Amino acid sequence: MKIAFIGDIVGKPGRDMLSRYLTSLRESEGIDFVIANYENASHGFGLTAKNASELFSYGVDVMTGGNHSWDKKDILPLFESHEILRPHNYPEELPGTGCRVYNVAGEKLAIINLLGHFAMPYSDNAFRCAKETVDSIRTIDEVKNIFIDFHAEATSEKRAMMMLLQGEVSGIVGTHTHVGTDDLQIAKGTCYLSDIGLTGCRDNVIGMDEKVPLKQFLTGMKGHYEIPKKCKKILQMLVMEISEGVCSHAYKIKQYDNGDIVRTEAYKEE
């Protein structure tokens, strides 16, 4: 199977990039299944029902979340009616789940969404949750292909998750920082990237108008972050070829709004 993952979609600029490019990318790259992180998709914070339907119409198959999953309350019923996940290590009493299994190109694919700890809301232990969930999926459900969106601030947490699960899952990709990292690799059959980076505005601060964050850095005074009405945009997507639990090939695509494309191949550890 060939799956794709799109990192934090930030507001209307991010949604516009999916509208403009996702269908053609699915066709040109031969992608069977698209995963996308929604947690900043509506005005930069959370996901509305309207924007959920919009993103699914562009060719997204399942969406993962993070610390802003709960910001728009109309998402709550969508956890049961749509292919929308929230971090699996949030308390079980909350709506939704962070793990589902799908049939893709004749094989089963499990998607797991996890939340990190540093500078994040309270949640259960991500590492114990990941290990227990992966063990259950592999032994009880007999699913070999497993992809994890680890929504975390600290790259050390993301790297530790890779050390914990390499060889046991097909891919671990980080989200949340909105800044892409340069460590795409495949080791022991597991594709890893600390952070895929945002999809949205690229000429400001993490997809937001720079005025408020600059004021905060200069003076310590906080304010409400806004999505720019006009900006230069980017779509960042990771493509992985997976079979029998092993990722054999992976590459990242950076699609710019002027039509330029940059591709980066994963370094494969022997």
- At 186, list the tokens: 């495949």
Measured at the CA of 84, the angle between CA 209 and CA 155, to 5 degrees, comes to 55
Inter-residue long-range contacts of 254-260, CB under 8 Å, 24+ positions, other chains counted = 254/180, 255/17, 255/21, 255/25, 256/202, 256/232, 257/17, 257/20, 257/232, 257/233
- Dist. CA 158–CA 25, nearest whole Å: 27
Q: Of these residues, 43, 68, 176, 249, which one is catalytic?
A: 68
178 is catalytic: no
91, 131 Cβ separation under 8 angstroms:
no
**Roughly what angle, to the nearest 10 degrees, separates helices 155-165 and 126-139?**
30
Q: With 0-12 CB in 10 A as exposed, 13-18 as middle and 19+ as buried, what is 258?
A: exposed
User: Rounded to a whole number, what is the distance in angstroms from the first to the last CA of the chain?
Assistant: 22
Q: What is the dihedral of CA 211, 214, 218, 219, to 10 degrees?
A: 50
Task: Indicate the residue type of 69.
Answer: S
174, 150 Cβ separation under 8 angstroms:
yes
123, 88 Cβ separation under 8 angstroms:
no
User: Could you give the residue numbers annotated as active site?
Assistant: 68
